[in-house]
Chain A
């Protein structure tokens, strides 16, 4: 295909603002999928996405419109996935910005729109859901035009649900978004913007060809990693996989590599051909660093190898996922994992449990700390239990947070940000009724329950986004939890000094409720260093007898005891105390709340 007839674009939208519905309508209108084949939200292929109403994996679909080849590259819609969004955007020349006519712009939309503008993408704005009775298309169009620097008249008015204006959207994509401008005769270069793994066919890479062209059967090379592989099959999505002999400059499609080792092909790498290699790789992605960490442990310690394999698989599709082995006295063998944010963590955990059928214990999330040792050496700490007790300086990541909220809730949001050690930056009226509040906040205050609190204090009206802006010194304390005098490594936490007492108290109280009574008193303490800041006791049991046991009962009672014994083996031992996993779960959940 002549590059002049190709348009590559993404859709940027907040959750529920209609991205998937619009994608469906586009597929219908371009006869890519017949009505009978149509099912709602076709692009969201993963079960999990469907349930959560969000899209995690980018995917690309080719449609034809008035002789043009349009490639729709799907983008994730949530705050944690800035990284994935930037990957997808790097494969496009333009983006369709979809805003709900009844809701207006949300913080995440704003963030992604800025990301697109930064990437020099042409923005095609559209106000969706104009069919809704509560729609305010003119007001929202004004908001949007302000944001993207267009006249309000250039903002499209559509209803993805009814199909109104969808044809005009496709026309605008052709008119406004520039064609790709790669060198079609140069040595081939393509960007891997996503990948997945197929049990039978190995690694499938999703690529955007920039220069030259690729042929089926050619030997290819990933430039950064040096991995060589054969292009067993090339093709594109319609939205099912459609094989093709070549993929040319400007096109978007897939390569089946046959690679069985998922770590050998990384998203962000540049693919070229071995016969005619390119000299320079394409500009890489922004290197994102995980900022939120948590320990993941299999509930059944025998599942450790399965967990390791599953993380390796996920890592293929999710370059931002970080993991390293971790051994906890209380929880056994597992992994300390790094995530972009809380939602990312939740999704990884759910995918591990659902797709890989693992039962997991997840420790309370914490952020990355930068610690200067008394020796002057600087280390990064990902696990509260590794925090040195004597540090010269502890720095924690700060974010610039944007909250968009109806003006009546400004006070509530400010209150929350102040409680969370926020520093007010500025406030902007986006319209008469809606306000943008900018705060600087420690990320550590956000990973616990900031988002839940924000939603509940604003009755769900607030939208929220953040960007890490760097590390700053913090007055932080490491709080350890001791059960029967023994430190439970998995429950250590790092909190601001002012909150240490309260959190310590909550934790020991909860543990007291959850740890079953033993045959002896079990003290539960929270301590900073050697100073105990909270203490509770699980009182010893006074009675535990099998009431009667005669000739007819012996087998049954014996089996009962054997079962009890087996149950004990499944419990984790801390300081000679059997702590059921439910107790850890309850405490860890408390931390997340």
Chain B
């Protein structure tokens, strides 16, 4: 018996240090517990194994800095995880050595998502990133040498002190490396982060000036042959890459409302009408699984109506039309007409909803309007 879940997320929280803007579940130090953590992950996997149905479509190792994990432990984990068509790992450039690249490659990792963030040393230091622009370039070449043919780079824009020409330069530098995929995020001062404390006011001050940055990003990348397939994500057009669909299959699963299983501290799973999140405490996680028990979890029931709203919220992030069949209750019909009248959304045949180019730049507000 199996639960039909074909997407697996594994959280590897360890980092060499915590960047100022980060609000993910991360663990700095505790190098000694990598092996023990991998043991715990595998125990949790065993406990939930029957939810998964082989063959898996995607496995995604996120962090933290997954590639900072002790190589022996990391390899043991990779060997033990179920096979999947797309296996992605997040990496920080400074961790990518030829040995690591080989390790990933021989263990089925076929996609690497790397946090470049910026190519300006000055801006990298604002973000407290340790990798230099040269580290990023070297890492890409190292991965290519190990035959990794699907590389994604993360960029952050709206960094305090970043001018429009700085942004342009970052995009050019990233494009020069020929990544298959790019994720571009506006810097957010997440409440409670060190960064918000230091730069929060500055970000508010520059918010209006930054309004055009996302347009610059989209314009530059689409002109360079990338498809703006999700609010913050771009991939090379298939015709430029032998017909390959280079969208992140794992992330698409989230945006299309598929079920997924998450392992590790702070990891979220959504299976059927339940969502749960593992408690983010490392010690408690290790202890529970050390004793063969499930870690403590926060559970959220997902009624159909809620799932429908999420489908709308996530579906509208994509460039492909959202089919409204079955989702009628989640969409405010009057608001929809208003959005159409404003040229922010279109419907073909009445059933399939797409945001217009301008509508996508206003996607957050349009979605808030459209949700019933």
Contact = CB atoms under 8 A, between A and B. Distances in A.
Interface string A551-591: 11011011001101100100000001000000000000000
Contact of B314 (A519, A520, A549, A576): A549
A550 interface: yes
A87 B277 CA distance: 70
B344 A519 contact: yes
Given A542-B212, A543-B211, A547-B188, A554 B314 contact: yes
A551 B262 contact: yes
A523 to B, nearest CB: 15
A545 interface: yes
Contacts of B9: 551
A440 B266 CA distance: 75
A549 B183 CA distance: 12
Interface string B94-128: 00000000000000000000000000000000000
A543 B368 contact: no
Interface string B332-357: 00000010001010000000000000
Given A543-B215, A555-B300, A561-B371, A548 B185 contact: yes
B366 interface: yes
A546 interface: yes
A542 B215 contact: yes
A552 B306 CA distance: 16
Given A551-B270, A557-B313, A558-B309, A544 B362 contact: yes
A547 B211 CA distance: 13
A543 B260 CA distance: 31
Nearest to A520: B342
Contacts of A542: 211-212, 215, 361-362
A541 B310 CA distance: 24
Contact of B365 (A541, A549, A550, A557): A541
Contacts of B181: none
B365 A519 contact: yes
Contacts of B365: 519, 541, 544
Interface string B253-289: 0110000101000111010000101000000000000
Interface in A374-402: none
A555 B371 contact: no
Nearest to A542: B211
B266 A552 contact: yes
B368 to A, nearest CB: 4
Contacts of A564: 368
B281 to A, nearest CB: 16
B81 interface: no
Nearest to A557: B313
Contact of A549 (B186, B188, B317): B317
A551 B260 contact: yes
Given A548-B185, A551-B268, A552-B262, A558 B313 contact: yes
Contacts of A554: 254, 268, 270, 275, 310, 313-314
Contacts of B368: 561, 564-565, 568
Contact of A561 (B267, B313, B342, B344): B313
Given A554-B270, A565-B368, A519 B185 contact: no
B214 interface: yes
A549 B362 CA distance: 15
Contact of A545 (B231, B309, B338, B369): B231
B364 interface: yes
B268 A552 contact: yes
B264 to A, nearest CB: 11
Nearest to B275: A555
B251 to A, nearest CB: 6
Contact of A558 (B310, B364, B369): B310
Contact of B361 (A520, A544, A551, A568): A544
B363 interface: yes
Nearest to B367: A561
A545 B214 contact: yes
Nearest to B257: A554
Contacts of A548: 183, 185, 231-232
A544 B363 contact: yes
A539 to B, nearest CB: 10
A210 B211 CA distance: 77
A565 B214 contact: no
Interface string A525-541: 00000000000000001
A547 to B, nearest CB: 5
A519 to B, nearest CB: 5
B277 A519 contact: no
Contacts of A550: 251, 254
Interface in A69-113: none
Interface string B170-184: 000000000000010
Interface string B153-192: 0000000000000000000000000000001011010000
Given A519-B365, A541-B365, A547 B309 contact: no
Contacts of B251: 550
Contacts of A546: 231, 363-364
Contacts of A544: 361-366
Interface string B296-323: 0000100000100110011001000000
B371 A545 contact: no
Contacts of A576: 338
B214 A519 contact: no
Contacts of A557: 313
A520 B344 CA distance: 10
B363 to A, nearest CB: 5
Nearest to B339: A519
A547 B254 contact: no
A515 to B, nearest CB: 15
A254 to B, nearest CB: 57
A545 B214 CA distance: 9
Contacts of B344: 519
Nearest to B183: A548
Nearest to A578: B369
Interface in B66-84: none
Interface in B192-237: 211-212, 214-215, 231-232
A568 B365 CA distance: 11
B268 A543 contact: no
A519 B188 contact: no
Contacts of B306: 558
Contacts of B317: 549
A542 B363 CA distance: 10
Contacts of A545: 186, 214, 231-232, 360-364
Interface in B115-147: none
Contacts of B366: 519, 544
Contacts of A568: 368-369
Contacts of A519: 342, 344, 362, 365-366, 369
A458 B367 CA distance: 56
User: Most chain-B CB neighbours within 10 Å: which of A551, A554, A561?
Assistant: A551
A513 to B, nearest CB: 13
A576 B211 CA distance: 24
A520 B338 CA distance: 11
Could you say which of A520, A545, A549 has the most chain B C-beta atoms within 10 Å of its C-beta? A545
A557 to B, nearest CB: 7
A543 B185 CA distance: 13
Interface of B: 9, 183, 185-186, 188, 211-212, 214-215, 231-232, 251, 254-255, 260, 262, 266-268, 270, 275, 277, 300, 306, 309-310, 313-314, 317, 338, 342, 344, 360-369, 371
6 contacts: A542-B362, A544-B363, A544-B365, A545-B363, A558-B306, A558-B309
The 10 nearest A-B residue pairs measured at CB = A544-B365, A552-B268, A564-B368, A544-B364, A542-B211, A544-B362, A551-B254, A546-B364, A547-B185, A543-B211
Given A555-B268, A576-B338, 14 more contacts: A542-B215, A544-B363, A545-B214, A545-B232, A545-B360, A545-B361, A545-B363, A548-B183, A549-B313, A551-B254, A554-B270, A557-B313, A565-B368, A565-B371
